[in-house]
Chain A
Amino acid sequence: MRLLALLLLGLSSSLHAADVLHLYNWNNYISDATVARFEAACRCRLVQDYYSDNEEMLAKLAAGASGYDLIVPTGNAVEALIRSQQLRPLDKRLLPKLNNIDPAYLDTAFDPGNRYSVPYAYTITLIGYNVEKLRELGLPTDTWAMIFEPKYLVKLKGRVTVLDSQRELMAAALKYLGYSVNDTDEAHWRRARDLILRAKPYWAAFNASSYIKELTVGNIWLAHGYSSDMFQAQQDAKQAGRPFTISYAIPKEGAVLALDSMVIHKSGPRPDLAHQFIDFMLDGHNSAELTNLIGSGNPNRAALQYIDPAIAANRAVFPTPDILQRLEMLRDLDRNQRRVLSRIWMEIKMR
């Protein structure tokens, strides 16, 4: 009898072991402590697979990857996934903590009414800089002019990197010219291209991620990049005891805000666990843990009290309402626009 009970026990625990939630996530986008607590709470295993940009994730799904319960794409990629009918509508009865989210981040253009997506965290594309160097040179830090205007760039030649991303760099240029980041007028694109080409000789490189290190070691004094990367550069420089500090600011012309949201993929076998995970991450404490780890923006009002005060006070992570109004989310382009933009981008890269 006892043996049978043991056997049953063993069987049930092995059943639990088969409860697996597959999360397709950005690199380093959840804290280990949060994972451990979730696994204890759901008595399941959280298996993560990683991507480093939305296009990579979309390309992998387009090529037929499946089995992911949850994905955490950025707004325009959420839109792409919704339109291609890859997502499962949310069952909001299973998400009692949904009203923790600041309404400013709900009901977005890419998912009206939040039928499919729940905000997770955001980053802002901005300017990171070497505080001492820029003060020494007497340069401003809160404008896109810093990466586009030759009169400033002459002092920074070879010390500036910009993001190696068509959309992000064009968005910065369009913003500086006073257009929307989602402007699709070809004439405006060409003006943005000319602005970029004029500034390019002063830039050290187009860069996707190594600007964190370059800023930290002092090779680069100014970088166009993501707020969470700048946070990491700041921390790294501090920990390495560098004689300078890294800081970052949102340009006054406005910038791109990338809101990452949790969505449930149709190919995933466990929508139940996925809902459980979403509600778990809506908890203020769990959500704050991510912000404290990587310095990401947090759309969760209940999280604020758990966030490191230094981060909570950082206006480049939690912008003032005035600045927030000038932030825009990128919308997806249609195929013809993508092809034309890609050619403009190639001209930018070749000249």
Chain B
Amino acid sequence: MSPWAGRTMPGCFSMTRRFGRWLVGLPPTLFLLLFFVAPSLIMIVASFRLAGEYGGLAPLVEHGRWQLTLETYRFFFSDFIYVEIFIRSFSVALATTLICVLLAYPLAWLIARSPKKHQDLMVLLAVLPFASNFLIRVYAWMIILGPQAAVARALNSLLAMFGFEPVTLLFSPFAVLVGMVYVHLPFMILPLYTNLARHDPALLDAAQDLGANAWQRFWEVTWPLSLPGIYAGSVLVFIPVLGMFAIPDILGGTGDILIGNVIKEQFLGTRDWPFGATLSLMLTLAVLACAGLAAWLARRGVGRHA
């Protein structure tokens, strides 16, 4: 409910208010229309069209007949492999998100509890990696995880001491996960920090006065209050990871492709725009379904803690 609903207000003021709200809401609405709804519509149409022989799309009307087909959808559902890669991509996105929560939570908590004068610096440090190019940072992991690097050598000599076979870190699902977590971690830290910094310390004092121990104070007070921050961070991590193709490309081994790689391949290597559009629509639908589920869970969660 909006804060002014139910109050009695002079009509014209309410009108201005409504106009103002409309005016403020206009740019984001336009933005969504222009950059989400319109492209999605283009994709929907493209998914029913025929691929041009040499990339692009075949003409919509040829010899006086509409060239539209359900072929891409038939192809998608004709083999379980496409569902399989969706499942795999969602698993990687979920794992990345969970690890990001685990790593970001203590850090965000630490920043939020630090003296005010240090907070800005710490936040700056958390986002500082953005100052260098994304690809360079991912390439750096190639060096860090490479077989000649100290990490792999130390790990393998440790493994050898216990009689285990040496492992390769680079070009593996592990390397992909490391890259994903590393790149997306700041997106989890920031919303969590913003959320945690706003918590009223008086609540914790009150809980303590009422006899809650440290764990109870965290689990009964801080954690539920921080859920919106976790949800926001999760969305910011989960969705980009789903579409990511560069990290599996660079750090992944011979079997680590994700749906992002497959979609990219349709538009570049295979020059099959309609099928690429279909895959990408399926991904959008799946993401929307996830977002819906998350929103529903969040509402239930809020309801429980209210």
- Is B275 in contact with chain A by the CB < 8 A criterion? yes
Q: Are A346 and B85 in contact (CB under 8 A)?
A: yes
- Is A151 in contact with chain B by the CB < 8 A criterion? no
Q: Are B81 and A59 in contact (CB under 8 A)?
A: no
Question: If A335-B53, A339-B275, A346-B85 touch, does A206 touch B254 (CB 8 Å cutoff)?
Answer: yes
Q: Are A203 and B254 in contact (CB under 8 A)?
A: yes
Give the chain B neighbours of A347 by CB distance below 8 A: 81
Q: Are B253 and A342 in contact (CB under 8 A)?
A: no
> Which of B31-39, B200-208, B262-270 is the interface stretch?
B262-270
Q: Are B253 and A204 in contact (CB under 8 A)?
A: yes
Give the chain A neighbours of B194 by CB distance below 8 A: none
Question: If A84-B54, A346-B81 touch, does A55 touch B257 (CB 8 Å cutoff)?
Answer: no
Q: Are A350 and B81 in contact (CB under 8 A)?
A: yes
Question: If A219-B146, A339-B75 touch, does A200 touch B254 (CB 8 Å cutoff)?
Answer: yes
Give the chain B neighbours of A343 by CB distance below 8 A: 75, 79, 81
Give the chain A neighbours of B88 by CB distance below 8 A: 350
Q: Are B255 and A342 in contact (CB under 8 A)?
A: no
- Is B105 in contact with chain A by the CB < 8 A criterion? no
- Is B52 in contact with chain A by the CB < 8 A criterion? yes
Q: Interface size (A, Cβ < 8 Å)?
A: 39
- Is B55 in contact with chain A by the CB < 8 A criterion? yes
* 0 or 1 for each of A322-351: is its CB under 8 Å from B? (1 = yes): 000000000010110011011101110111
- Is A131 in contact with chain B by the CB < 8 A criterion? no
Give the chain B neighbours of A346 by CB distance below 8 A: 81, 85, 257, 262, 265
- A351 closest partner in B (C-beta): B255
The listed residue with most B CB atoms (<10 A of its CB), out of A56, A201, A338, is: A338
A130 to chain B, nearest CB (A): 15
Q: Are A219 and B53 in contact (CB under 8 A)?
A: no
Within 8 A of A (CB), among B31-62: 50-56
* 0 or 1 for each of A220-250: is its CB under 8 Å from B? (1 = yes): 0000000000000000000000000000000
- Is A158 in contact with chain B by the CB < 8 A criterion? yes
Q: Are A204 and B171 in contact (CB under 8 A)?
A: yes
Give the chain B neighbours of A203 by CB distance below 8 A: 254
- B256 closest partner in A (C-beta): A349
Give the chain A neighbours of B147 by CB distance below 8 A: 219
B123 to chain A, nearest CB (A): 35
- Is A95 in contact with chain B by the CB < 8 A criterion? no
- Is A195 in contact with chain B by the CB < 8 A criterion? no
- Is A58 in contact with chain B by the CB < 8 A criterion? yes
* 0 or 1 for each of B70-83: is its CB under 8 Å from A? (1 = yes): 00000100010100
- Is B148 in contact with chain A by the CB < 8 A criterion? yes
Q: Are A350 and B55 in contact (CB under 8 A)?
A: no
* 0 or 1 for each of A54-92: is its CB under 8 Å from B? (1 = yes): 011011011100000000000000001101100000000
Question: If A200-B255, A204-B171, A350-B255 touch, does A341 touch B54 (CB 8 Å cutoff)?
Answer: no
Q: Are A55 and B81 in contact (CB under 8 A)?
A: no
Q: Are B269 and A55 in contact (CB under 8 A)?
A: yes
- A214 closest partner in B (C-beta): B146
- B166 closest partner in A (C-beta): A158
Question: If A219-B146, A349-B254, A350-B255 touch, does A342 touch B54 (CB 8 Å cutoff)?
Answer: no
Q: Are B254 and A55 in contact (CB under 8 A)?
A: no
Q: Are A55 and B54 in contact (CB under 8 A)?
A: no
Within 8 A of B (CB), among A190-211: 200-201, 203-206, 210
- Is A293 in contact with chain B by the CB < 8 A criterion? no
C-alpha spacing A80/B266, complex, angstroms: 17
Question: If A59-B268, A204-B253, A342-B270 touch, does A350 touch B85 (CB 8 Å cutoff)?
Answer: yes
Q: Are B53 and A339 in contact (CB under 8 A)?
A: no
Q: Are A217 and B51 in contact (CB under 8 A)?
A: no
Q: Are B269 and A342 in contact (CB under 8 A)?
A: yes
Q: Are B148 and A217 in contact (CB under 8 A)?
A: yes
Give the chain B neighbours of A205 by CB distance below 8 A: 171, 252-254
A23 to chain B, nearest CB (A): 21
- A201 closest partner in B (C-beta): B254
- Is B168 in contact with chain A by the CB < 8 A criterion? yes
Give the chain A neighbours of B52 by CB distance below 8 A: 62, 84, 335
C-alpha spacing A177/B59, complex, angstroms: 39
- A63 closest partner in B (C-beta): B56
Give the chain A neighbours of B168 by CB distance below 8 A: 158, 204
C-alpha spacing A58/B269, complex, angstroms: 10
- A82 closest partner in B (C-beta): B54
- Is B271 in contact with chain A by the CB < 8 A criterion? yes
Q: Are A350 and B54 in contact (CB under 8 A)?
A: no
Give the chain A neighbours of B267 by CB distance below 8 A: 59
The listed residue with most A CB atoms (<10 A of its CB), out of B55, B257, B267, is: B55
Within 8 A of B (CB), among A136-172: 158, 164-166
Q: Are A58 and B148 in contact (CB under 8 A)?
A: no
Contact partner of A339 (CB less than 8 A), chosen from B148, B268, B272, is: B272
Within 8 A of A (CB), among B199-242: none
Contact partner of B53 (CB less than 8 A), chosen from A201, A210, A334, is: A334
C-alpha spacing A200/B255, complex, angstroms: 9
Q: Are A341 and B171 in contact (CB under 8 A)?
A: no
- A208 closest partner in B (C-beta): B249
Enumerate 20 A-B pairs (CB-CB under 8 Å) in ascending A order: A62-B54, A62-B56, A63-B56, A80-B53, A83-B54, A166-B270, A201-B254, A204-B168, A219-B148, A334-B53, A335-B50, A338-B270, A339-B275, A341-B270, A342-B272, A343-B79, A345-B265, A349-B254, A349-B257, A350-B255
* Given A61-B55, A345-B265, 5 more pairs with CB closer than 8 A: A165-B269, A204-B171, A204-B253, A210-B142, A346-B81
Kindly list the 9 A-B residue pairs having the minimum CB-CB distance in the complex, ordered from nearest: A62-B55, A80-B54, A62-B56, A342-B270, A335-B51, A349-B257, A205-B171, A55-B268, A84-B54
